[in-house]
Amino acid sequence: MADRITAAKVIVCSPGRNFVTLKIETASGLSGIGDATVNGREMAVAAYLQEHVVPCLIGRDPARIEDVWQYLYRGAYWRRGPITMAAIAAVDVALWDIKAKAAGMPLYQLLGGASRSHMLCYTHTDGATLDEAMAALERAAEAGYHAIRVQAGVPGLKRIYGVHAADAPDMGGLPNEGDWDTAKYLRFAPKVFEEARKRVGADIHLLHDAHHRLLPNEAAQLGKSLEPYDLFWLEDVTPVENQEVLRHVRRHTTTPLAIGEVFNSIWDCQTLITEQLIDYIRATIVHAGGITHVRRIADLAGLYGVRTGFHGAADLSPVTMAAALHFGRWVPNFGIQEYSIHPKDSQQVFQWDWSFRDGYLFSGESPGLGITIDEAAAARFPYQRAYLDVNRLTDGTLWNW
Ligand code: EZ4
Ligand code: CO
């Protein structure tokens, strides 16, 4: 007889930062978890799940992952968007966890088995000054990372994305505000990578994130000016609303481009992929509808020589990392995985079997996703409202963060 879903619980906790987790339980005694965290909008996803999704799950056969996915996506007239797709992702990943446990297999086996033994990953480094950024880069290289993202403070700007700022004014719990000047940034960025190559040589992969700040022609200029330094990728050069503007960027630079951590469906990257305007697709499991949907994105990407480079900052929970590593173990067109260490207290809430060694990531071998949540521990770390930053030009104009 088919198993059935008996309960679905939304667990919001803050062991160092906020995470939203969905736990699904079945009549046969299996359970699975999925991540639904959207940083800065956590309670919107929690409510979407609690009020609208959970009632639709009870009684359903957990084995029918595709049908549940279609029911929640196609069956909701108001489709897509980060909140909806994160909620669907949490259900989807929890159901894959359950299916893999029922099969007694680690999840990557269900997806088609291992294409590789381990996964290349990259870490973040930053510094308020060029010297501090280079010291951080050298430390990461010494620690054994093969791929390193480099962000450096721009002279004349106080607080910019990716650079730890000690002097942020108290905003009374509202978002911190950064400042931005594209001309200053475009002049400085090549100097950072010229110095970075001098410090770590040719073999370390260097990455950089422009975090949606540039206009199309500025993005083309940046890509061109960084060509001598052989970047692994340049990320999110323009805001994501217009895929078409990447045609201009692509015509003018061979610097590899990665885009899409904020994408939530295949429609967000269809043009980027089919016109080969990018080299790496960043859309990942929690924000793009789970394994069921990201597999479609990855397969489309594979047809066009685009590889995966999943978002993996610390605000994507260890549950998403577990899912990404099973996915990465299988997906034929794997490229690289972003890797950030989660706050220490998250280890009290989540117990996982994936690991990091010698600059590489390894999926675990236990049945399912290989991660569990301790609900009593989660209750000790209640939700705390927090926001991502906003960003302004130096004249006060609100800009993309
Ligand atoms: O800004 O995860 O490449 N990584 C990034 C991250 C994102 C945050 C947003 O939630 O751009 O730092
Ligand atoms: Co990014």
Q: Catalytic: which of 118, 124, 208, 211?
A: 211
Asked if residue 39 has its Cβ within 6 Å of ligand 1, the reply is yes
Vertex 326 angle, CA 23 and 44, to 5°: 40
Confidence (pLDDT) at 293: 98
Instruction: Let me know: does 223 contact 253? Beta carbons within 8 Å.
Output: yes
pLDDT tops 80 at residue 201: yes
For 186-198, letters b (16+ CB in 10 Å) and e give bebbbebbebbee
**Band (276; pLDDT cuts 50, 70, 90):** very high
Confidence (pLDDT) at 167: 78
pLDDT tops 90 at residue 256: yes
**Exposed (0-12), middle (13-18) or buried (19+): which is 160, by Cβ within 10 Å?**
buried
Ligand nearest, relative to CA of residue 236: 2
- Residue located via tokens 């071998």: 365
Mean pLDDT across the stretch 83-89? 98
Residue 13 pairs in a beta bridge with 19
DSSP helix, strand, coil percent of the chain (3-state; round to 5): 35, 20, 40
**Band (20; pLDDT cuts 50, 70, 90):** very high
DSSP one-letter string for 10-79: EEEE-SSS-EEEEEEEETTS-EEEEE---TT-HHHHHHIIIIIIHHHHTT--TT-HHHHHHHHHTTSSS-
Asked if residue 400 has its Cβ within 6 Å of ligand 1, the reply is no
pLDDT tops 80 at residue 166: no
Q: How far is the CA of 331 from the centre of ligand 2 (A)?
A: 21
Confidence (pLDDT) at 169: 86
Confidence (pLDDT) at 155: 96
Whole-number percent of the chain with pLDDT over 70: 100
| Whether residue 146 lies in the annotated active site | no
Q: How far is the CA of 7 from the centre of ligand 2 (A)?
A: 35
Q: Which of 262, 263, 147, 272 is nearest to 206 (CA)?
A: 147
pLDDT tops 90 at residue 130: yes
Biggest alpha carbon–alpha carbon distance for the chain: 67
Condensed to tens digits (0 to 9), the pLDDT of residues 217-227 reads 999 999 999 99
* Domains delineated in the chain: 5-109 (3.30.390.10), 112-365 (3.20.20.120)
Confidence (pLDDT) at 168: 81
Q: How far is the CA of 61 from the centre of ligand 1 (A)?
A: 35
Please give the structure tokens belonging to residue 200: 């770590």
Tell me the average pLDDT of the chain: 97
User: Would you tell me how many other CB atoms lie within 10 Å of the CB of residue 166?
Assistant: 6
Condensed to tens digits (0 to 9), the pLDDT of residues 105-121 reads 999 999 999 999 999 99
**Band (1; pLDDT cuts 50, 70, 90):** confident
Confidence (pLDDT) at 77: 95
Ligand nearest, relative to CA of residue 313: 1
For 346, phi and psi rounded to 5 degrees? -60, -25
| Whether residue 339 lies in the annotated active site | no
